[in-house]
Amino acid sequence: MNKIHWFCVSNPDGKSFPERRRSYGVSDGGLVFVPAAMAGDETEMNVILCASGDGQSTSVHLDHHSLSFKSYTRGQQIGLRICF
């Protein structure tokens, strides 16, 4: 795995989202990682287990799981319910 560079966007005015939900990573190979919590109603662990079982790239940042944007978009297209 390439080194991942992590970035954090600012909170919108009047909002106070935790840093882990505002962070994203970009690997040296150009793969983008987003927080697993962005996947909607599924738990973070269910999302990561599904992505890992499918052979997708995952990572941990700020003690929370992230997955490659490719796996996130694929999960949204096919629906995470397929994994459960």
Write a three-state SS string for 18-67: CHHHHEEEEECCCCEEEEHHHHCCCCHHHHHHHHHHCCCCEEEECCEEEE
* Phi, psi (rounded to 5 degrees) for 11: -70, 140
Q: Report which of 6, 9, 11, 2 is spatially closest to residue 63, judged by C-alpha positions.
A: 6
Q: What is the mean pLDDT of each run of 10 residues along the chain (84 residues)?
A: 87 87 87 82 82 85 83 44 36
Kindly report the pTM of this predicted structure.
Answer: 0.71
- DSSP letter at 68 equals E
Q: What are phi and psi of 16, to 5 degrees?
A: -140, 70
Beta bridge partners of 76: none
What's the confidence (pLDDT) of residue 84?
Answer: 33
What is the pLDDT at residue 70? 63
State residue 38's pLDDT score.
Answer: 76
